[in-house]
Structure 1
Amino acid sequence: MATNEDRAVQAAQDTVVRETDEGYRVLGAPEKSLTHQHDIDRIPEFDVSQEMLSNSRENPEAWLMYGGGYEQHRYTTCDVITKDNVADLELEHEMSVGNGSSMEGTPIVVPGDPPIMYQTNGPDHVKAIDPREGEVLWSYTYAVPNDVVLCCDDNKRGAAVWEDKLYITTLDSGVQALDRYTGEELWYTSTESHENGYSATWAPIIYDGTLFTGSAGGEYGVRGFFAALDAETGEELWRTNACPEEEWVGDSVNQSGGAIWMNPTVDEERGVLFTPGGNPSPDFDGSVRPGPNRNTCGTSCIDMETGEMKWFHQESAHDIWDYDSPCPRILIRDLEIDHRDETKDVVTSAGKTGWSYTVDADTGQLVERSEPVVQQLSMFRMIPHIDEGRRMPFMPGGMGGNDWQPPTYCHETGLVYYKMHNNGQEAWWRFEEYEEEGQKYWGGVLEDEMEGTPDGYNGSIGVIGAVDPATGKVVWQDWIDSDIYLWGGTMSTSTGLMFAGTQNGNFLAYDGASGERLFEFDAGDVPISGSPMSWYDPGTEKQYVAIQVGGSGWLRRGTRDDRLLIFSMEE
């Protein structure tokens, strides 16, 4: 059956997102959620076990979670595609998913005969797909409340799977569990009220029967939190507020921000999570929140059993530039740090500052801050008050640096690969009376277009770069010219390749060591905002690489599209 006959696809198409002064408002959503089944008998029925999840990163036939494995390496052990043959990579399926909304997701693949792909896109839409044939088996659209307001588009970045269930977060700050064989609803849990400004767009993570999720809404006067749910029933097990009351002045903690709006990294050995940290609230007026504003703009370490905060590493104290640090963290075990004569487990990531930070996994102490991956011009200067009549472009702007775009760590090269923005913005702060959760609360204005550019700007709005996490050296950079932001993540392989898409519609494979482009596919004049993934199918004896195509993101998001590209190479 074609997607134009699919009731769930039609419901997603009817759901529109309008940009307003308050943010992106959802309109036209269905009154109730819809599942449309096509050929569900094709889905092999077996439980996705904890052992399968724990081994996902090492299993070339699987990609069972957003980052490929718990350590968020976005790395595959598939070895069919190599530096010598990647130029011959062929497009096997070019699928229309039927709804050209946010296409920032990463599909997951459950191995089997056939393998089953679960693919998501905005607004709150998910499909089960047979990737061998490029056919939809079932589709589902969640009934988003029509008064949901979002800061940054109707993003849906992925799903989670465990046993016989599939899970997505929902734009109204909930978690929806589905039967992964049929697409039918099982349970729903609201983690917070969307009327108070909370939302959710990331893929949840499941470990040992517990589902972990967070909070978004830092631009609406919320207080960030992280929560654990029983994956079988949806019951909340614990909740941790990101910002500690004893370290915030007065009642500013009530609207402190610090949202944790991408999925965590699981350290099975330590029994902890490493989570990203959002900006303090309001974004630009620091006068109403004195002090360093812990725990914002950095990395948290949280006990999986209790929710206790173990440590926090902050990248931008008392932030007034919207320099939060939202991308998933990468856990690297036994990293050899030769210049310190040390070998230790580390957590590494980059924030909007444009630096990559490597910290000790046990203590959160900084091991190495990298060289800048982007240009840092007029950085960390006090932004002017709106009444001053003064302009001050700063760079990186509020988009970063590295926003949500997930990096990859390649075991063969020992490098981490980032896609970053290299652009400036202008901001003004002003006092705004805090009213209540759910009301826009920026404490100023952020302007995307600058009156002038900072001296020394190279004119490239984005860059794809490789960083050595042990030394902080930027090994290579590929500067990208465009008038649209560079979104989406990266993926690496055991054969030393790195894959990424650009906002100019190019899907690329690099020699991970040198940065040489070895493969280019022209997807048309449309941004590629999705993040690539890969798997091997023993039934076809092929390695596959998939990427979602379409513009998304806050401001300069580019042309919408609704395509899923699946490439393949036979042994």
Structure 2
Amino acid sequence: MASIHQHDAAVEAAQKIEMVEVEDGYTLTNLPDESVTQQFDIDQIPEMDVTQEMREASAKEDPTSWLMYGGGYQQQRHTSADVITKDNVEDLELEYLVQSGVASSMEGVPIVVPGDPPVMYQTNGPNHAKAINARTGETLWSYTYANPQGLLLCCDANNRGFAVHGDKVYMTTLDSGVVALNRYTGEEEWYTSTGDHEIGYSATWAPIVHEGKVITGSAGGEYGVSGFVAALNPEDGSEIWRTNTTPAEEWAGDSHEHGAGTVWMTPTLDPESGMIHAPVGNPGPDFDGTVRPGPNRYTIGTLTLSADDGSIQWHYGESPHDVWDYDSSATKIRVNDMDMGDETRDVVISPGKTAWAYTMDANNGRLLERSQETTQHINMWKMVPHVDEDRRVAFVPGAHGGNDWQPPSYNPETGLVYFNQNNAPHEIFWEEATYEAGQTYWGGGLNDWPDVTEPQGWNGNLSAIVAVDPVSGERVWRDWISSDTTSDYLWGGSITTASGITFTGLQTGNIVAYDGETGDRLWQFQLGAPICSSLSSWYDPGEGKQYVAVQVGGSGWLHGGRRGSTVAVFGLSE
């Protein structure tokens, strides 16, 4: 098992950073004055440019790689590696543990660049990153980004992973920027700010690189920012285009100025058509809809743009004029040439907090199928009362979903989509919202479980793993996840394999392998801390092994402060 190096300046800098709770959010203190890179045996990293062709083949066509957050551009989170099967998954063994040394948010996906040896690039909060020998777990370099003082963070010091292109890797930063690192040395190549962190902009997702563009987005909807999707030059970080998600002509009065609609998870991209399918969050303020009359178009749903120039192609909204915080923030899944029974179509599949899966025509956004409910629906879309009114109603799914940001997966072998779902009740109330720069712009608040009146008919389960047929909308199977604790939401995603297995992690600390067709649990392994991340998998021809990697350690704001700092890697030989 691998461990951290004793004298790692980048780790030491990150360990000193403290996350401090402030009113309605968090900030960071004890930040380093400048970014820190610590190099070890970097000569182990094979020199090879990562190309557009390699990314287009990643995971699904080339099982030796996992080159982006969702495996490939279409975010199917599927590997064609088939060494691990339903018959032998019980033989899957822990190969090694990497101790990042930084007990912060562990929500990221390790990416893997093939080679001899393959190299894993991994990030976690607060903007700490590593290059790792993916065979041995040995750290090759470490890096900690120097965020500025005065960050405004709604939820945690998250980072969900790298993008890779040529000789660089790209990471979003908590001060709403993108930093490019030399992937052989871990040294900074450039940094670009995409928004003003002093008024609430931030960045936590993994970007993507496509045809000479780094595609990134916006976070900070809780602070009344205006959302966007932007494309940067991968060589120097200069901006190529930017598309605002709250255009004035679509909103009443000046409400668009603080209308949120942030794109705070990784977009999906179809290389054939050049379409970007961006997940869009709630309008702002969250709960006070009186200051933003109308449908608040381009929020809560899928916004499709041209990768060439950012022009808007179509939008499908899942909760117009939303006041329930029903973000549609999870990554979308693109499937081309899907057999819809009467014809073949290119489709986009969207899981929302509303606890339905939406299958849309990829060319125009027309709804083709809305699935059966993935969680319970209780008191859905009830009128939200004013703070002074004593008539709060607990509703399910609450503001965590359904499907919050946790990414779904798709298996072309089973034809099913797999979702990690939440089923907890919330109570919401609204109050008049006045925008003030750098202050939260909620327009109300919510009571989280268990501090709510239990709604009649609720089954008591906080979460579930669900398989859905995106063509028929049928819920094929559902595994309710029961727990003795009150905060065990599912807070990470799943992956699928060519052999029909679905892997995911639970807040109980178990990584689980499901039979993707039946929902039967085939194998599980206890890792000792909540799993709030999504997984990756690859085949190493030099070792004749298929590997599965997962980051272990909670998202502290949601899971009672339980933290971890581990990357666990499992393997099975042919």
Normalization by structure 2: what TM-score?
0.98
Question: 2:203: which partner in 1?
Answer: 200
Q: Is 1:291 aligned with 2:294? A: yes
Deviations 1:341-388 (A, max 9, x none): 121000002011011001000000101011110111111001110011
Amino acid at match of 1:302: L
Shift of residue 2, structure 1, vs aligned partner: 3.5
Shift of residue 553, structure 1, vs aligned partner: 5.7
CA distance in 1, matches of 2:561, 2:397: 20
Q: Is 1:18 aligned with 2:23? A: no
Q: Is 1:382 aligned with 2:383? A: yes
Q: Which moved more, 1:426-435 or 1:551-560?
A: 551-560
Shift of residue 401, structure 1, vs aligned partner: 0.6
Q: Contact (CA 8 Å) 1:80, 1:570: kept in 2 or not?
A: yes
Question: 2:489: which partner in 1?
Answer: 485
Deviations 1:469-528 (A, max 9, x none): 10111100010112221111000000000000101111100000000000110112x211
Question: 1:53: which partner in 2?
Answer: 55
Shift of residue 3, structure 1, vs aligned partner: 3.4
Shift of residue 558, structure 1, vs aligned partner: 5.1
CA distance in 2, matches of 1:385, 1:164: 54
- What SS does structure 2 have at the residue aligned with 1:406? coil
Question: 1:346: which partner in 2?
Answer: 347
Q: Is 1:29 aligned with 2:31? A: yes
- What SS does structure 2 have at the residue aligned with 1:48? coil
Deviations 1:117-169 (A, max 9, x none): 00110000110000211110000000011210111101110100000001000
Shift of residue 10, structure 1, vs aligned partner: 1.0
Amino acid at match of 2:50: V
Question: 1:373: which partner in 2?
Answer: 374
Question: 1:167: which partner in 2?
Answer: 170
Amino acid at match of 1:154: A
Question: 1:306: which partner in 2?
Answer: 309
- Structure 2: runs of 5+ lacking an equivalent: none
Question: 1:149: which partner in 2?
Answer: 152
Q: Contact (CA 8 Å) 2:425, 2:452: kept in 1 or not?
A: no
- Structure 1: runs of 5+ lacking an equivalent: none
CA distance in 2, matches of 1:91, 1:260: 36
CA distance in 2, matches of 1:462, 1:26: 31
Deviations 1:225-281 (A, max 9, x none): 110000111000011001221120000000001000011111112111000011000
Q: Contact (CA 8 Å) 1:527, 1:558: kept in 2 or not?
A: no
Question: 1:280: which partner in 2?
Answer: 283
Shift of residue 557, structure 1, vs aligned partner: 5.1
Q: Is 1:321 aligned with 2:297? A: no
Amino acid at match of 2:194: T
Q: Is 1:511 aligned with 2:515? A: yes
Q: Contact (CA 8 Å) 2:275, 2:306: kept in 1 or not?
A: yes
Aligned residues: 567
Q: Contact (CA 8 Å) 1:351, 1:400: kept in 2 or not?
A: yes
Q: Contact (CA 8 Å) 1:416, 1:467: kept in 2 or not?
A: yes
CA distance in 1, matches of 2:297, 2:19: 33
Cα RMSD (Å) of the superposition? 1.0
Deviations 1:409-440 (A, max 9, x none): 0011000000011101111100021223x321
CA distance in 2, matches of 1:65, 1:148: 27
- What SS does structure 2 have at the residue aligned with 1:8? helix
Q: Is 1:3 aligned with 2:1? A: no
CA distance in 2, matches of 1:433, 1:102: 31
Deviations 1:2-27 (A, max 9, x none): 43421101111111112221311111
CA distance in 2, matches of 1:299, 1:314: 7
CA distance in 2, matches of 1:268, 1:240: 19
* Superposed counterparts of 1:508-547, under 5 Å: 508-524=512-528, 526-547=529-550
Deviations 1:33-92 (A, max 9, x none): 000001101100111011111111310100000000011010000010000000110001
CA distance in 2, matches of 1:4, 1:384: 55
- What SS does structure 2 have at the residue aligned with 1:324? coil
Shift of residue 221, structure 1, vs aligned partner: 0.6
Question: 1:408: which partner in 2?
Answer: 409
Question: 1:179: which partner in 2?
Answer: 182
Seq. identity, %:
57
Q: Is 1:249 aligned with 2:252? A: yes
CA distance in 2, matches of 1:197, 1:561: 27
Normalization by structure 1: what TM-score?
0.98
